[in-house]
Structure 1
Amino acid sequence: MRALGTAELHGVWASTLLPLNEDDTIDFGRLELEVDALIAAGPHGIYTNGSAGEFHTLAEYEYDRLHELVAGRCADAGVAFQLGAGHPSGQLSLDRIRRAAALRPGAIQVVLPDWLPLSRDETTAAVARMAEVADDVPLVLYNPPCAKTQLPPELFAELADAVPALIGIKVPGGDDDWYRRVSALVGGRLAVFVAGHTLASGLARGAAGAYSNVACLSPAGALRWYRLMHSDAPAALDVERRLQRFFRDHIAPLAAQGYCDPALDKTLAAIGGWAEIGTRVRWPHRSVPADLVPALRTAARAAVPELLG
């Protein structure tokens, strides 16, 4: 597909999730059906290998097969797609970027090397080197709360100056002061993507979109909510308040029990029931028991029927 620019990078992007067999192998048949369901839901685009996609567990042959499937299905359907090339090793990340670039996605998502924190100069050098090997495919930098190197708005501004190929950032967001700092320092040079369950308030404060955990719950529902943000902002903010209450009351307790983010994202997908993915995550992480899903689904439908209709 054609490379994306900053102004074109917006909206609700839905993640691929790994349907796993009992031996932790990927069920590519179910994955193909999942991608078809995502395409049918009509998000602004589909992406791979964020935290929800368990990118850190993939063997390289799985990485290539996953990307060939997603790139092929999306290209055939005319749907925008981004490929994640993150890896805790910077060297292996460069190899993944090269192979992702050959499939010509709209952008490549990257993470910083993760075993040791990076200095400011090392951060800039890392992103610049990634851009060099991306063969003119733009980059989106994912800086989640679990990253060893946490970047302040000032460093995002420095990266925007130093690496023109960087078109967006994927961050958790922040308070009003954080948004003001990002706006003042970054302006329109980077598309700011925030957590999906904060998108209504984030859009109002300058965010461009979300690589969306709400799309894990319901890809079509997340898109309906996005449209509501533009047609009736107060109603969309009311949905956000109820959604965050559901997360606080029902998802946060699972996180407090030690379930990792991919396990929670797969649980959201099981609640939504839009594809046969299952709640299983790869060793060594624990999977949320599937027998918890019916009660969670009932609670979600009571809290945010607009998303699960």
Structure 2
Amino acid sequence: MIPPGPRRFHGIYPSTVLPMREDFSPDWDAYARHTGHCTLRDGIAGVLMNGHAGENFVLSRAEKRRAVEVTVATVGATRIVVAGVNAEASLDAAEEARDAREAGADAVMVFLPNAFALSHTPEMALLHHRTIAAAVPGLPIFLFQAHHAAGRMAFTPETMDALLDIPEVVGIKEGGWEVDSYDALRRRVKAKRPDVAVCASGDEHLFACYVHGSDGSLVSLADILPDAVAALDRAVREGDLPLARSLHERLEPLAEAIYGAPPGGRATARLKFCLAEMGIIPCPAVRPPQPPVTGPEARMLQAAMRETGL
């Protein structure tokens, strides 16, 4: 459900995981419980599902559609449902967007094809997004600004300017993971499209980005600590920096353990481990090629959870 008003897409959106059984089949009941647990709370505007945390790159098209259906049934009456769209071929991504719309999603987030990490031009990015927009006329679109270490996938300023000419674009998940580049992007977007919600989404430095200015976040850290992430956002907007700093000090050990500790690319497995430790999901299984969390990695996460107060 999209609320009225010019700030309708602002706010905090947990980026959910998809719980699986030991045989790697989706556990839809556990998914519904997990989604409701982190989303149906004060200060939470909506949910991003079928994102990277939701293992969108190893799900079938049918599983992605089912995930949208379960999400809409669980939280769609009162929260915004943003469905990730991730496919190497633009035409396949367009079909995923159609599925999401038919299943009840309020908006889609477009992830660039992984091949774009090698090289892409503004024309390629624009064609990919316009192909998807044409398949779902009028459906709001979130852009995804990729991690600074994701090869050449991140948008250049010229590419971002071109994408902002698409009228369906309503928000940006800024996942570049660099505070300075985040602020530069935020300023550039606000100069051209002040209506677009620029959402700081680097889980390890939310505090710094919020102080620069942010319209919210789409972050998987809110799967585990939704109230604390929402409170941090609110404290900065209200100018209560001592409270914001104390919330940052609470969040940071776990954020560093999940997203910062080497090796990279382990966030989903670590999120699932923590959620299982907390009893929110029954099984921490992740689909191959990601291995499960064990040994020193498990002990690191348990220590960070204790330090965070979980």
Calculate the TM-score normalised by the size of structure 2: 0.84
Q: Which residue of structure 2 aligns with residue 95 of structure 1?
A: 95
CA displacement at 1:5 relative to structure 2: 7.5
Q: 2:221 aligns with which of 200, 214, 218?
A: 214
What is the distance in 1 between the residues matched to 2:296 and 2:123?
A: 48
- Alignment partner, residue 287 of structure 1: 292
For 1:5 and 1:91, the matched residues in 2 are separated by 33
C-alpha RMSD of the superposition: 2.8
Equivalent residue in structure 2 for 1:239, among 213, 225, 247: 247
Structure 1 residues 31 and 243: CA distance shift in structure 2, 3 A: closer
1:63 corresponds in structure 2 to 64
Unaligned runs of 5+ residues in structure 1 are none
Identity of aligned residues (%): 22
Question: What pairs up with 1:1-309 in 2 under 5 angstroms?
Answer: 1-2=1-2, 7-42=7-42, 43-76=44-77, 78-116=78-116, 117-145=119-147, 146=150, 148-160=152-164, 162-173=165-176, 174-176=178-180, 178-180=182-184, 182-187=186-191, 188-194=194-200, 195-231=202-238, 232-241=240-249, 243-248=251-256, 250-251=257-258, 254-256=261-263, 260-270=266-276, 273=278, 275-289=280-294, 293=298, 296-302=301-307, 304-305=308-309, 308=310
Q: Distance in 1 between matches of 2:18 and 2:76?
A: 20
Q: Give the deviation of 1:238 after TM superposition.
A: 4.1
Letter in 2 for 1:236: A
Q: Is contact 1:51-1:261 (8 Å) kept?
A: no
Q: Secondary structure at the match of 2:270?
A: helix
Q: Which has the higher helix share?
A: 1
Instruction: Quickly say closer, same or farther: Cα 1:4–1:21, change in 2 above 3 A.
Output: farther
The one-letter code matched in structure 2 to 1:262 is T
Unpaired segments ≥5 residues, structure 2: none
- CA distance in 2 between partners of 1:5 and 1:126 (Å): 29
CA contact (8 A) 2:91 2:131 kept: no
**TM-score (structure 1 length as normaliser):** 0.85
Give 1:185 deviation, angstroms.
4.8
Deviations 1:43-99 (A, max 9, x none): 2111211110000111122112111111122234x2221111222332211100011
- SS of equivalent to 2:247: helix
Give 1:123's aligned amino acid.
A
Q: Call closer, same or farther: CA 1:94–1:148 in 2, change over 3 Å.
A: farther
**C-alpha distance in 2, partners of 1:278/1:198?**
29
Q: Secondary structure of the residue that 2:115 maps to in structure 1?
A: coil
Q: Secondary structure at the match of 1:255?
A: coil
- Count matched residues: 300
User: SS in structure 1 opposite 2:217?
Assistant: strand
